[in-house]
Amino acid sequence: MTRPTTYREAGVDIDSADRLIDQIGPAVHRTHRREVVSHLGGYAGLFALDLKKYADPLLVSTTDGVGTKLKIAFEMKKFDGVGQDLVAMCVNDLVCCGAEPLFFLDYYATGKLDIAEASQVIEGIAHSLEKINCTLIGGETAEMPGFYQKGEFDLAGFAVGAVNRDKVVNGQKITPGNKIIALLSSGLHSNGFSLVRKIIEKKGLDLNKPVDDLKKPLGEILLTPTEVYVNPILSLLAKFQILGIAHITGGGLIENIPRILPQNVTAHFDKTKIPTPPIFKLLQEWGSVTEAEMWRVFNMGIGMVIVVRGEEEKNILSELKKMNCPAQSIGEIKSRKKNEAQVIIT
């Protein structure tokens, strides 16, 4: 008699997935807002929108991943920050519209489930969401043998928020004379890592060793988690009129700033006022990367940009300082000349 073939023999362990759900349960429940009306393990997440707070609501949604930064995490066997990366890449986009993040879902896919690694990632997601009062309302763990290389996984995140229609931030009110404030980045965040990995490969660098003047191992510096800007941005929106908000991700200032600008203006940046962390300068040197390419690929020290009225600039910088959110005035909005680029860095 032929022995029956099992799902476990095919590489999928349902019991491991069940144990993971049990292990992450407490962390997930800590993120739950009072509007959540579903439970962990259901087919879908249910959320009751507060219509007293949002009388004329617009739902806002985003999705993103961590990208090839995960390759660095695999080599370092260090996963405590990638959950925050995933959250940040989604909710930082969401808040650019003026929206409050309400709930989040994650997708974790791997060849063979490692409960310890998966728990570390998901607890990082939950911890980051808890700090911004956003619910981890659901997710999916997919075990797909033969699809991913051994010891690797992929992540995707999905965030949903809300904003009242009259509070949407869309950049349409940006005019010449407005000031540009940067909320500083914690490092590379989660963009440009295909170029970073190419430079490391060509240079033969060891991720586990400090290089040049860097006191930490190179891999640890590269894995510095993406900053989450939701709390400071929402606090500013409650007190000031913020005209435009841009999350500086792939494409840097060059590609991201035009997304919020009217066609008749140009953003002028003074690069001498931008405190670029040493890792960017080292990567440029190691890879012989042109300055133009650096500004087009990386955030260069800027995590978010807000455009504000000139008369409110000092008060907003003061407010950000009170919140321990490093910020710097870095430029100004000017009238756009014919055929002029919308981003000028001098």
Whether 106 has a pLDDT exceeding 90, the answer reads: yes
Beta bridge partners of 60: 161
- The answer to whether residue 270 scores a pLDDT higher than 80 is yes
Q: Which residues in the chain are classed under CATH 3.90.650.10?
A: 179-345
Task: Measure the CA–CA gap between 224 and 189, rounded to whole angstroms.
Answer: 7
Q: For residues 221 and 295, what is the distance between their CA atoms, to the nearest angstrom?
A: 20
The Cα-based distances of 188 to 133, 181, 201 in angstroms read 25, 19, 18
% residues pLDDT > 90 (the chain):
87
Indicate where the chain has its CATH 3.30.1330.10 domain(s): 14-167
Q: Which CATH class is domain 14-167?
A: alpha beta
Structure-model confidence comparison of residues 256 and 43, the more confident one: 256
- pTM, rounded to two decimals: 0.95
Q: Render the burial of 213-250: b for 16+ CB within 10 Å, e for the rest.
A: eeeebbbbbbbbbbbbbbebbbebbeebebbbbbbbbb
CB contact at 8 A, 90 and 125: no
Cβ–Cβ < 8 Å for 335, 216: no
Q: The dihedral of CA 40, 46, 52, 56: what is its sign? A: positive
pLDDT value at residue 41 = 77
Q: Which fold has domain 179-345?
A: Phosphoribosyl-aminoimidazole Synthetase; Chain A, domain 2 (3.90.650)
pLDDT digits 0-9 by tens, 202-258: 999 999 998 877 889 999 999 999 999 999 999 999 999 999 999 999 999 999 999
Residue 298 has pLDDT above 80, yes or no: yes
CA 4 to chain CA mean position, Å? 46
- The tens digit of pLDDT for each residue in 152-192 reads 999 999 999 999 999 999 999 999 999 999 999 999 999 99
